[in-house]
Structure 1
Amino acid sequence: MNKLPNDWTQSTFGECLKYEQPTKYIVKSTKYNDNYKTPVLTAGKSFILGYTNETDGIFTQTPVIIFDDFTTDTKFVDFHFKVKSSAMKILRFNGKADIKFLYYLMQILYHRSDTHKRYWIAEYSKIKIPLPPLETQKEIVSILDKKFKAMDEIERLNNENIENLLLLKKSLLKEAFSGKIAP
């Protein structure tokens, strides 16, 4: 690890986060419906698998990080939820570090997860991390949140422009093949 500023320390994810097995939050029925209230989560790419009307066993102590124990994928969650399976850990604040700071830090770490095993306890929790004072962590999170919000807006506008260009192309093709465009 590079030399840290004087007021920063070195820690591990395991020292900064408490983990919980999600067993008591697993959804009983996979008959999801978008009209139901409670999202059912996975830490993988799909994230929200659907919505359930189950009212018991809902996780409410947010924010947390959900960690896929087999792929090491992570998601930051700040709303109530249920989960699909026990193949994840729910990582919670333990007082030492800002949870969103730790989530952002997890996004830049490369960790090889090429075998089918549970990674949190065996490896990921032991990864050494730089840890600034809590106030500095919160400032870093605030800056990142603002910058990511601006980038999300740029992405939204770019996607809108791409959609408009595709519509324009279709319109030009339609005109060309209906005789409205002539050489």
Structure 2
Amino acid sequence: MIYRTIGTRYTHHAPRPGGAFAQDAGSASQRHAGDNPLLSTMWRASEQMDGLQVRVDEWLGKARNRSANARDARDWLTSIDALQSRLRAGESAVSLPEGLREFVVRNALMSTLQASGALGTSALDSLKAGVQSMASGTSESATVEQIELKQFLSRYENALTLSNAVIAKLRDIMSKITSSL
């Protein structure tokens, strides 16, 4: 995709692609970016790359959190099984261990009041279903997010290719100007 912007001025303050020439001519090129389709395209590609980088960073952070929560959920399932065994052995109610209680409250599977109290069979079964869902649901959402990430990366690669092509064209133009002088 090539975006053409006519009559717009960019006030992009990040390091400019193109090396020392772009740094020296930065203010002049910003004023005339709308006049020069190559510079306009280069600025647009740079903006797209910056935006995509932010989105990818956000996605990776969320994916890491979900993965860590799923791993913790799988670990806590054994504790829940042990608590269920105690209930089957004859205890009327059990209390959650502190770590499991914090995990359950942090992930909104139970309120603080519920998690702090004694739990019976039905409450523990409900909790186990929620924790199992959390442990298995990560793989389903990860697939959808992997597709989105591939789309982001594809757009990033397109923007990068476009930016590199513009830079190469500018080098070619500068080479011709220099050789004609």
Tell me the TM-score normalized by structure 1.
Answer: 0.29
Tell me the TM-score normalized by structure 2.
Answer: 0.29
Bigger proportion of residues as strand: 1
Between structure 1 and structure 2, the one with the greater Rg is: 2
Bigger proportion of residues as helix: 2
